[in-house]
Amino acid sequence: MPLLDMTFVRIALLIAMMLLSGVTMAGSQSAYAPVEGLLSVVWGDAATPGRNAPIRAMLTDDEGRTRRIKVSDDLLNRGLLRWNGQRVRVYPRSGDTGDASDLDVGEVRAAAVQLVALTSTSTAVTGSQPWISILCKFADVAAEPKDLAFFEGMYANMPGGLDHFWRELSYDQIDVVGSTAVDWVTLPGNQADYAPTPGSGTDANLNQVFDDCTAAVDDIVDFSRGGEPFVGINIMLNEDLDCCAWGGNRYATLDGVAKNWRTTWNPPWSFRNEGIIAHEMGHGFGLHHANNFDDDGNPYDSPWDVMSAATAYGSVDETYGELGKHTNVWHKDILGWFPPTQRFEAQPDTIVTLELDALAAADAGHYRVAIVPVDADHLYSVEARQRVGLYDAELPGNAVIIHQVDMTRPEPAWAVDADVPPANYGDNPGTMWEPGETFIDPDNGLAIKVERETANGFVVTIGRPTIPQVFRDGFDEATASLRPGSKIISTDTH
C-alpha cells in the first residue's frame, strides 16, 4: 500500500477511535494528569419543583475513592449524561491532590473505545430487580413518619404497589420481587451534619448518608442476598435533606459486592406520593428527566412522563397517594423493553404508514414505538397514548406524543409542542398530535402525520424523503420554511 494511503488509513482509524470513545472535540486539552473511574450520575428533585433541577456526577477511582465532579453547563452540553454508569477518563483543570475534594473537570472521555448508542438493548434491564428500603433517622430527630408495614407494602404486586407499577410499565419485562424494608435505625450524625441548610440548597452529603445508612443495618442486612444482590437501595429519611429528593447511582462495596447500586435519597415529603419514589427509582435505572418544549429550564412540565411531572394527571391510591404514569418510549427503548416486532425505526428515503398501539396497553398486536434517527446525538420518538391501564388512566387525553431527543441537553427528551410560543405546561393541544395533524422538521426532511385513532392506538405516516413528497394534497412550498415542530392541519384523515 502506498505511504500516502497508509497515512490516510491511520488518520481515519484515529478519527474513528476518537468518535467511538466519545472524545470531547471542543475546549483545550488539560495539562493535568487524567483520572479514571466509574461515572455515576444523581438527579435532584425539589419538593416545590422549579427550574434547573440539580445534577450531580461522581467518579469512583480504582482505589475506591468516590468524589464529586463539578457539573458545568459545558459538560452537560457535550453529552456528559451519555456516559452514566460507564468507565471514563476525566481531565481536571487543576492537579489531582488525591484527597476527597471535588474534581473540577474540563473534559470527559470514555476510558476505552466504546459506542454508547441513543437506542440500545445491549444494557437491557430485565428480570427481577429487588430493592431494599432502609429507614434512617437523624440522631437529633425522633420522628418516624411512616411505619415499617407502610414501606413493606409499597413494594406490593397490587394496584398502587411498586411491583405492579414496574410490571405495567415494562410489560412484565421487570418486577421488584424480593424487595423489602428495614425498620428505622438511627444515624450517628444530626440532620445538619448531613445537610447544612436543611430544606434548601443542594449541598447535602449524599455519600455520607449512604455510608452511614448502610453501615447502620450492616448487622441485619445481607446486601449480597447469598449471591443475588439487591439492585437498589431506597434510603427513607425522617426529615429533610437539602432542597431535594435524589435518585441515581452510588458505587460501593457492601457485603463483598462491589458495584454501582441504584440509589435514592428520600425525605418524608417524597414518600407521601408514590409517584415521586417511582421517579427517583427511574433515575436509579438510569433514566433522565424528561420535559416539555418551552425551554424554560424547568424539567417538570410534561404530564406525559413519570420522569417529568411525576404525579400530575396520575391515578390516586388511598394509601400511597398520587401515583406515577408511564415514561416515554425512548426511555423504555434504552431499557430494552421492546422486542423487534414492536419497534419500528424509520429509514432514510422512505414513507411508511404503521399502527402504534397505546403505550400503556397490556398487550400489543402492532408496534409500540417508532424511532426516527437524526444523528449520533439526536432522534425523534413517536408514541400513542390512550387512557388505558391504571397508570395512564388520567392522562390529559388520547393523542400521539412526539419527543425530540437531544443528548446535549440536561433533559434529552422533550415533548414536541407546535404552539408558538410553546405552552408552559405540556397538557395543551399543541403537544397532543391528533388525526389530521402533521409534524414537520424541514431541516431534517421529516414529517409525521397522524392518520386516525384506532381502538388500540393510532395510525401514523412517517416520511423521511424531501418534505414536499410527504404531503399528497395541497402542499404549499412555503411550508418548508416553518420551524421544526410546526403543525400542518388537514381534514384528510384516511
Domain contains 64: yes
Angle, vertex CA 289, rays to CA 22 and CA 429, nearest 5: 120
At 286-312, the pLDDT tens digits run: 999 999 999 998 999 999 999 999 999
Residue ending a domain, among 51, 85, 110, is: 110
Band of the pLDDT at 32, cuts 50, 70, 90?
confident
- Indicate the pTM of the whole model: 0.89
Length of the chain in terms of residues written: 494
Task: Give the phi and the psi of residue 442 in degrees, each rounded to 5.
Answer: -60, -35
What integer pLDDT is reported at residue 391 of this predicted model? 98
Distance CA 218, CA 169 (A): 33
133-147, 337-351, 384-398: which has the minimum mean pLDDT? 337-351
Instruction: Note whether 147 and 204 are same-domain residues.
Output: yes
Instruction: Please give the share of the chain, as a percent, with pLDDT higher than 70.
Output: 84
Band of the pLDDT at 119, cuts 50, 70, 90?
low
**Can you give the CATH number for the domain in which 24 is found?**
2.40.50
| Secondary structure (3-state) at 7 | helix
Domain contains 317: no
Instruction: Note whether 135 and 82 are same-domain residues.
Output: no
Q: Look at residue 63 and tell me whether its pLDDT is greater than 90.
A: no
| Secondary structure (3-state) at 266 | strand
What integer pLDDT is reported at residue 486 of this predicted model? 59
Are 288 and 44 within 8 A, CB to CB?
Answer: no
Distance CA 38, CA 74 (A): 20
First to last CA, the chain: 59
At 126-145, the pLDDT tens digits run: 999 999 999 999 999 999 99
Instruction: Note whether 69 and 134 are same-domain residues.
Output: no
Instruction: Note whether 146 and 96 are same-domain residues.
Output: no
| Secondary structure (3-state) at 10 | helix
Q: How is residue 480 written as a grid cell?
A: 418548508
Are 330 and 381 within 8 A, CB to CB?
Answer: yes
At 471-480, the pLDDT tens digits run: 444 334 434 4
59-63, 122-126, 245-249, 324-328: which has the minimum mean pLDDT? 122-126
The H or E element spanning position 166 is: helix 162-170
Selected residue with higher pLDDT from 258 and 480 = 258
Antiparallel, parallel or unpaired: β 127-128 and 174-175: parallel
Report H helices in 54-179: 73-77, 148-153, 162-170
- Give the DSSP letter string of 365-432: SSBSEEEEEEETTEEEEEEEE-S-TTTTTTSS-SEEEEEEEETTSSS-EEE---SSSPPSSS-STTTS
Domain contains 293: no
Domain contains 300: no
**Can you give the CATH number for the domain in which 170 is found?**
3.40.390
Instruction: Note whether 237 and 353 are same-domain residues.
Output: no
At 206-235, the pLDDT tens digits run: 999 999 999 999 999 999 999 999 999 999
Domain contains 464: yes
Instruction: Note whether 48 and 171 are same-domain residues.
Output: no
Domain contains 277: yes
Instruction: Note whether 374 and 481 are same-domain residues.
Output: yes
Q: Look at residue 329 and tell me whether its pLDDT is greater than 80.
A: yes
Q: How is residue 210 written as a grid cell?
A: 449512604
Domain contains 307: no
Instruction: Please give the share of the chain, as a percent, with pLDDT higher than 90.
Output: 70
What integer pLDDT is reported at residue 221 of this predicted model? 98
What integer pLDDT is reported at residue 9 of this predicted model? 38
Q: What is the mean pLDDT of the chain?
A: 87
At 179-193, the pLDDT tens digits run: 999 999 999 999 999
Instruction: Note whether 258 and 139 are same-domain residues.
Output: yes
Selected residue with higher pLDDT from 12 and 49 = 49
Band of the pLDDT at 5, cuts 50, 70, 90?
very low
Instruction: Note whether 200 and 263 are same-domain residues.
Output: yes
Instruction: Note whether 168 and 265 are same-domain residues.
Output: yes
Distance CA 105, CA 70 (A): 7
Count how many domains the chain has.
Answer: 3
What integer pLDDT is reported at residue 48 of this predicted model? 83
Instruction: Note whether 101 and 136 are same-domain residues.
Output: no
Averaged pLDDT for residues 362-374: 96
Domain contains 378: yes
Q: Look at residue 95 and tell me whether its pLDDT is greater than 90.
A: no
Instruction: Note whether 391 and 451 are same-domain residues.
Output: yes
Domain that holds residue 377: 339-489
